[in-house]
Structure 1
């Protein structure tokens, strides 16, 4: 199963403007991305976190995905699942971890600073010959709401314009695009406090195969409380089920 499920639950806590305030800014952002892909030749996905919609713009790189490059399309999701299905499962999982770290890193910054940062990674993706080819993936936030909440997110896909070198994983980085400072992401320090101590206890028991009733008895809490914690864990880790939660938490070193 695709390890990236939905960040909507975290995004729902962001301060978002009214529809009237958003409309004009969104139209401006759409026009900006239409022009951008003409220059960058990339495939760009502009995701509106408030309305749970994405706008996919196809520059010349769209031919890699066998996309129509004549315009853009709108989907009722902030996830470009058709593209995700082409990405190698291991790289998709690592990219998920990078995006989690990026989101929590940005939350440590003042709103005006957040737009200066982006992620960069190299992901194996099926080309139009159905062969895995390493491509460049970048992501950043284009706009905050006027209240300082993260609002418009951008993902960019393009050719990897550099000589092939030995790469471990996706070679994920967080980059300050204003200063050029680059942070190689091999640990997930900004995700350390993602789960409470109780949530960690429960997830460790889940990893051992315990069901909610047994967990409730061991921790001397109600089964409803256990189930509420389980749901919180899924939301914080942005996964669909307990198996994915254990894998993600373990990769983030949250269960040590």
Structure 2
């Protein structure tokens, strides 16, 4: 399987969340709870709305502990990636790569297991004095939409007790169900050995081509196309073309 370059936002989009499955009254209740927690917790809390593909909340502690602009924190949903603007420029690309790898791992799991993990990152953020301080950021699912897909992701960021300078972004993954801890650098994504022709046919299936149209496009017989389609389903471990497309997206074979 060829490696595919993919962005974090494209991984978010693969959740395929629908407006009718999301209840924003739930988020309003959660937001009120988070505002209450600001009064007793010194953690910098934030929330990502996967449906909107953006940060929708950050606690006032970002201003107190790390020197973020209070007005922008209060209007975070309109500020784009403001939280990330103060991440160390050398750490941010590492962080994105880790998040993408972890997302690919999550999407390789059965749906009922995908919300069981907490990702714990350690990286550097510029503080009020213009100096970089190391933080620990823990991220996990806060809310699911109606069908069980992750919708809101909550994070809690604290000053790391160990401020020893190093340039590596550290990451640990915690399984919240069984307590297992592992490093994403040790993750092995399932290998799907599709041939070039099978990948080509998978792309054409995604575009809506029928077998006879694929046969004409590639200059092969319908019988050969159908054999390739059967091999695709078998190798991907799916039952039909829709599932094959979704699995191809999850594995980075399709965009």
Question: Which TM-score tier does this pair reach, normalised by the shorter chain?
Answer: 0.5 to 0.7
Corresponding position of 2:179 = 180
Q: Distance in 2 between matches of 1:65 and 1:191?
A: 42
For normalisation by structure 2, the TM-score amounts to 0.62
Tell me how far apart the structure 2 counterparts of residues 196 and 36 of structure 1 sit (CA, whole Å). 50
**Structure 2 residue aligned with 1:24:** 25
Conserved 8 A contact 1:48-1:153: yes
Give the secondary structure class of the aligned counterpart of 2:141: strand
Within 5 A, what are the aligned runs for 1:137-216?
137-160=137-160, 162-164=161-163, 169-190=168-189
* Structure 1 contact 42–59 (Cα < 8 Å) conserved: no
Distance 1:25 1:70, change over 3 A: same
Unpaired stretches in structure 1, ≥5 consecutive residues:
199-220, 222-231, 238-256
1:45-84 to 2 correspondences below 5 Å: 45-63=46-64, 64-68=66-70, 72-76=74-78, 81-84=81-84
TM-score (norm 1): 0.62
Please say if residues 11 and 100 of structure 2, whose CA atoms lie closer than 8 Å, have aligned partners that are also in contact.
no
Counterparts of 1:97 and 1:191, CA distance in 2: 18
- Counterpart of 2:10 in structure 1 is 9
CA drift of 1:60 comes to 2.8
1:91 aligns with 2:69: no
1:57/1:71 contact within 8 Å kept: yes
Structure 2's unaligned 5+ residue stretches are: 1-5, 197-217, 219-247
CA distance in 1, matches of 2:110, 2:136: 28
The superposition leaves residues 24-79 of structure 1 with CA deviations (integer Å, 9 ceiling, x where unpaired) of 222233233323443432222212222334322224343213332998434147xx
Retained in 2: the 8 A contact 1:91–1:170? yes
> What is the aligned residue count?
200
Match of 1:244 in 2: none
Q: CA RMSD in A?
A: 3.9
- Cα distance change, pair 32–112 in 1 and its aligned pair in 2 (3 A): farther
The Cα shift of 1:85 comes to 2.0
- Rg larger for: 2
